[in-house]
Chains A and B, each alone.
Chain A
C-alpha cells in the first residue's frame, strides 16, 4: 500500500478499489487507429468513436464526474475524482475525448447554469455522448479576450447571434459550445454575456464550421460562423452582462487552477500516446549513434537532459506542495503556474529530443527510418499550440505578476 493510499478516507479507499478493479476488467487495450498526442488533435470519426465509447464506459462505471451531485448526473462523492484520475493514469488508459466539456464547460455550467440546464446537459457531457467546444477567441480578440465582438441581439424572448469565432478546437465534433459574446457594445467588460449554444444540430441553420489546418498538417481546430442563429434565453449562464465573470470560471479550470478536479485519464503516460518525458529523451539519446559513441555521451546534451528531468520532478512535486499550506506562500502561486510550466517544459523537452536526433529529426511520420515513428518533430510543433492556447505564456506571466506578486496591471 502506498502512502498516498494510506491517506485515503474510507469512502476514497473503497472507491479506489472499485476503480482499480473496474479498470483491470475493462481496459480497452490498444486501439486500431493511431491516436494523436491529445484530444485536441482528434481528426477522424473513427478516432472519436473509439474514444467516446471508452469515456462512456468509464462514466457508467462511475469514474467520470464523481464529485458532482447525482442530480446533475455526477457520482455525488467527496474528493474522489482525484482518486479515479490516479488510477486511470497509473493504468495507462486512453484519454477522454471530451476534454473541453470535462475541463471547462462542466464546471462553468455547474457554477453558473440553471438547475434545468445542468440536469439536461451535464449527464451527456460526462458520458462523452455530447462533445463540447469553446467559442472564445475571434480574429480580433485573442489575448485581449474581453474585446470579443460576436453579438447577441434580443428579439422577443429569443437571442439572435452573429459573429465569427476562430481556433475552436473540436467544433467539428461538437454538439454544444460555450460561447462568450457581447450583448452591449458600450461597455467592454460589463457588455459581455455567456451562453451555451447547439452546434451540430444547428449546422446549416445559422452555424457554419470550417476546419483550419495546423502547422503539423493535422486538423483539430476550426472557425465557426454565426449567421442569425436564434437561441432561447434559457441557454444563458448567469445574468446578462456577467459574461466576463463566468469566463473567469472557465479560464481558471482551463489552466488547471480551478477548484473542481477535471476527470483525466492516460495522457502522457498512455501507451498509445507518444511518451515525451525526459526519460524518453535519455532513452532516445542512448540509441542515437554519434561520433563513434551515442548522443548520451555528449556532455552538453547530458546537462540539458538532466535539466529537463529536474524540471519534470519539480512539476510533479508542485501538485503535492500546493496542498500543504505551510509550504506555500500564496494559495494561487503554484496552481497559476501549472499551465505555463507544463507547456514550456514539454516544448523544451521536444526541442531537446530533436537536437539529440540530429539530422534524423528531419524524418516525418511517413518515413520508415524516422526514429520514434516521426513523433518527436510532431510533438515539437504541437508544443507551440500549448504555449499559445488557453492564454499564451506571456499572458500567463502577466497574470502571475499581477495576481500573485501584486504588480501593476498592464491592461
Chain B
C-alpha cells in the first residue's frame, strides 16, 4: 500500500480542522485560558485540576470523542489524519482536556478486536479515558502494574489528565504476557496521587492499584499495544506542532510590533533568522506528522518508522520553538503575565513524554542502520 497524494485529508477532515480552530479561537482565547488556569503562580502550589470543563461537553456534542471509533462500535471512523488535524488545533489552543488521552486510548482499543466494542461505545458517547501503565522512568514497556489472581496490583506513573477522566485503560503484565483492563477511576483499591507538575494545561498522577477488580478486555493485548504506539506518538506530535505554530505566530507578531533602535525587532537578522529556523523546524515536523498519520491508514508497514520520525522531530521542534519564543520576547517573555509560558511548559511536558527525541532516534537507528544491514 502507498499513501495518497493528499494524505487522505479529504473535505471532511479540512472542515473538522477549520471548525476546531474557530471553536477554540472563540471559546478559549489565550487570555481567558490564562485567567482560568494561571491564577496561582506559587511554584509550591498544591496540585489541582483546573480546566474549562464546560467545553468538554461541547466537544463531546460535536462528536470529537467518536472520531476514531469504528462505525461498528457507534463511532464516525474518520482516518487518523483527520484526528491529527484536530489535535494540531487543540495544541495551538493549549487546550486543557482529556481529548488527547481519550483518542490515544481509542487507538489501543481499536486494535483490540470485538471485546473492545463496549468500551469504544462508551468513548463514542463521551466517556473520557486515559492510559495507565508506565513505570517510574516513564518508559513504554509494560510491567509496573501486574495481574495477580485476576486482580490489578502495582503503581502506574505519569498518568495523563486522570483528573478529567472517568476510566483508565490499564496495560498490565500477566505472567509473560500483557493484559488489558477497563477500570473506573474511582474503583475500589485505586488511589490517585496527584503530581505537582510544571505544565498548567494538564494534570498528572501516579495511580496505585491494590487488588483492583477491573473489566478485562479479552484480546491479544501485546499486539494491540504495539500497533497503537505509532498512533499515540503521532497524535502527541500533532499537538506539539500546533502549539509550536502558536509560539511562532505570537513571537512573529511581537517582533513586528516592538521597536528597539528605532526598528521593529524583526528587522534584525539575529531575530529574523531564529524565527525562520523555528518555521523550518515546524514544517519538518508537520510534514512528518501528516505522513505518519496517513501511513496509519494507508501504509501500515511504514507507520512505526514514520511515527518515530514524527515524535523525534516534533520533540526537538517543541523545545526549539519554546526557547525562541521566550528569548525573542525579552524580559516580558520571562514573566508570568506573558502567555508564552503556558506553551513553553506544555511543550516541555510533551517533549519528554512518550519517548524523547533521542529515544525515538535510537529506535530508528535500530530499524534503519542495523536492520538495513540485514536487508542489504
Mark A residues whose CB is within 8 Å of B: 2-4, 6-7, 279, 282-283, 285-286, 296, 299, 302-303, 305-307, 309-311, 313-314, 317-318, 320-321, 323-324, 326-327, 329, 333-334, 337, 340-341, 394, 397-398, 400-402, 404-410
3 tightest CB-CB pairs across the interface, nearest first?
Answer: A407-B266, A317-B287, A408-B267
Max count, chain A CB within 10 A of own CB: residue among B266, B358, B369: B369
Query: Is the beta-carbon distance between A327 and B286 smaller than 8 angstroms?
Result: yes
> Nearest Cβ in chain B — how far from A305, in angstroms?
6
Across the interface, which residues of B come within 8 angstroms of A394, CB to CB? 269, 273
Q: How far does the alpha carbon of A302 sit from the alpha carbon of B370 in the complex, in Å? A: 10
User: Which of B64-72, B187-195, B276-284 contacts the other chain?
Assistant: B276-284
Query: Is the beta-carbon distance between B284 and A311 smaller than 8 angstroms?
Result: yes
Query: Is the beta-carbon distance between B9 and A303 smaller than 8 angstroms?
Result: no
Query: Is the beta-carbon distance between A3 and B361 smaller than 8 angstroms?
Result: no
Query: Is the beta-carbon distance between A397 and B7 smaller than 8 angstroms?
Result: no
B274-313: CB near A (< 8 Å → 1, else 0) gives: 0111011001111110110000001000000010010011
Query: Is the beta-carbon distance between A321 and B287 smaller than 8 angstroms?
Result: yes
Across the interface, which residues of B come within 8 angstroms of A286, CB to CB? 369, 372-373, 376
Query: Is the beta-carbon distance between B2 and A3 smaller than 8 angstroms?
Result: yes
Instruction: Name B333-349 residues within 8 Å CB distance of A.
Output: none
Across the interface, which residues of A come within 8 angstroms of B284, CB to CB? 310-311, 314
Q: Is B36 an interface residue (CB 8 A)?
A: no
Across the interface, which residues of A come within 8 angstroms of B277, CB to CB? 397
Additional A-B contacts beyond A282-B372, A320-B291, A333-B279 (9; CB < 8 A): A296-B370, A302-B369, A305-B365, A306-B368, A311-B284, A314-B309, A326-B85, A401-B266, A407-B256
Residue of B nearest to A324 (CB): B6
Query: Is the beta-carbon distance between A407 and B245 smaller than 8 angstroms?
Result: no
Across the interface, which residues of B come within 8 angstroms of A296, CB to CB? 369-370, 373
* B17 contact from A6, A321, A326, A402, Cβ within 8 A: A326
Can you give 24 A-B contacts (C-beta < 8 A)?
A282-B372, A285-B369, A306-B312, A306-B361, A309-B364, A310-B284, A310-B313, A310-B361, A314-B288, A317-B288, A320-B5, A321-B7, A321-B287, A326-B14, A327-B9, A333-B279, A340-B280, A397-B269, A398-B269, A400-B276, A401-B269, A405-B266, A405-B276, A407-B267
Query: Is the beta-carbon distance between B365 and A302 smaller than 8 angstroms?
Result: yes
Query: Is the beta-carbon distance between B5 and A3 smaller than 8 angstroms?
Result: yes
Q: How far does the alpha carbon of A401 sit from the alpha carbon of B269 in the complex, in Å? A: 9
Known: A7-B5, A305-B369, A306-B368. A337 touches B283 (CB 8 A): yes
Query: Is the beta-carbon distance between A327 and B267 smaller than 8 angstroms?
Result: no
> Nearest Cβ in chain A — how far from B329, in angstroms?
15
Across the interface, which residues of A come within 8 angstroms of B365, CB to CB? 302-303, 305-306
Q: Is B177 an interface residue (CB 8 A)?
A: no
Q: Is B113 an interface residue (CB 8 A)?
A: no
Query: Is the beta-carbon distance between A337 and B280 smaller than 8 angstroms?
Result: yes
Query: Is the beta-carbon distance between A318 and B283 smaller than 8 angstroms?
Result: yes
> Nearest Cβ in chain B — how far from A406, in angstroms?
7
Residue of A nearest to B5 (CB): A7
Mark B residues whose CB is within 8 Å of A: 2-7, 9, 13-14, 17-18, 85, 245, 252, 255-256, 263-264, 266-267, 269, 271-273, 275-277, 279-280, 283-288, 290-291, 298, 306, 309, 312-313, 358, 361-362, 364-365, 368-370, 372-373, 376
Query: Is the beta-carbon distance between A398 and B272 smaller than 8 angstroms?
Result: yes
Q: How far does the alpha carbon of A311 sit from the alpha carbon of B312 in the complex, in Å? A: 11
Across the interface, which residues of B come within 8 angstroms of A405, CB to CB? 252, 266, 272, 275-276, 279
Across the interface, which residues of A come within 8 angstroms of B288, CB to CB? 310, 313-314, 317
Query: Is the beta-carbon distance between A407 and B287 smaller than 8 angstroms?
Result: no
Across the interface, which residues of A come within 8 angstroms of B285, CB to CB? 314
* A3 contact from B9, B18, B267, B298, Cβ within 8 A: B298
> Nearest Cβ in chain B — how far from A306, in angstroms?
4
Known: A3-B5, A408-B256. A313 touches B267 (CB 8 A): no
Query: Is the beta-carbon distance between A406 and B252 smaller than 8 angstroms?
Result: yes
Known: A3-B4, A405-B266. A309 touches B283 (CB 8 A): no
* A400 contact from B18, B256, B279, B362, Cβ within 8 A: B279
Across the interface, which residues of A come within 8 angstroms of B376, CB to CB? 283, 286
Query: Is the beta-carbon distance between B267 and A2 smaller than 8 angstroms?
Result: no
Query: Is the beta-carbon distance between B279 and A410 smaller than 8 angstroms?
Result: no
Q: How far does the alpha carbon of A155 sit from the alpha carbon of B6 in the complex, in Å? A: 56
Q: How far does the alpha carbon of A201 sit from the alpha carbon of B274 in the complex, in Å? A: 48
* A309 contact from B263, B298, B368, Cβ within 8 A: B368
Query: Is the beta-carbon distance between A4 and B2 smaller than 8 angstroms?
Result: yes
Across the interface, which residues of B come within 8 angstroms of A2, CB to CB? 2
Known: A282-B369, A283-B376, A310-B288. A329 touches B245 (CB 8 A): yes
Query: Is the beta-carbon distance between B3 and A310 smaller than 8 angstroms?
Result: no
Q: How far does the alpha carbon of A343 sit from the alpha carbon of B54 in the complex, in Å? A: 50
Max count, chain A CB within 10 A of own CB: residue among B9, B273, B277, B283: B283
Known: A303-B358, A318-B283, A405-B252. A279 touches B273 (CB 8 A): no
Residue of B nearest to A1 (CB): B2
Q: How far does the alpha carbon of A239 sit from the alpha carbon of B291 in the complex, in Å? A: 45
Query: Is the beta-carbon distance between B7 and A333 smaller than 8 angstroms?
Result: no
Query: Is the beta-carbon distance between A317 and B273 smaller than 8 angstroms?
Result: no
> Nearest Cβ in chain B — how far from A80, in angstroms?
16
Q: How far does the alpha carbon of A408 sit from the alpha carbon of B260 in the complex, in Å? A: 13
> Nearest Cβ in chain A — how far from B264, in angstroms?
4
Across the interface, which residues of A come within 8 angstroms of B273, CB to CB? 394, 397, 401
Q: How far does the alpha carbon of A7 sit from the alpha carbon of B284 in the complex, in Å? A: 25
Q: How far does the alpha carbon of A283 sit from the alpha carbon of B263 in the complex, in Å? A: 50
* A321 contact from B266, B275, B286, Cβ within 8 A: B286
Across the interface, which residues of A come within 8 angstroms of B276, CB to CB? 397, 400-401, 405
Query: Is the beta-carbon distance between A408 and B269 smaller than 8 angstroms?
Result: no
Across the interface, which residues of B come within 8 angstroms of A327, CB to CB? 7, 9, 85, 286, 290
Across the interface, which residues of B come within 8 angstroms of A406, CB to CB? 252, 256
Across the interface, which residues of B come within 8 angstroms of A310, CB to CB? 284, 288, 309, 312-313, 361, 364
Query: Is the beta-carbon distance between B291 and A317 smaller than 8 angstroms?
Result: yes
> Nearest Cβ in chain B — how far from A331, in angstroms?
13
Across the interface, which residues of A come within 8 angstroms of B4, CB to CB? 3, 6-7
Across the interface, which residues of B come within 8 angstroms of A318, CB to CB? 283, 287
Q: How far does the alpha carbon of A407 sit from the alpha carbon of B287 in the complex, in Å? A: 24
> Nearest Cβ in chain A — how far from B274, in angstroms?
9
Residue of A nearest to B252 (CB): A405
> Nearest Cβ in chain A — how far from B365, in angstroms?
4
> Nearest Cβ in chain A — how far from B90, in angstroms?
16
Residue of B nearest to A283 (CB): B376
Residue of B nearest to A302 (CB): B365
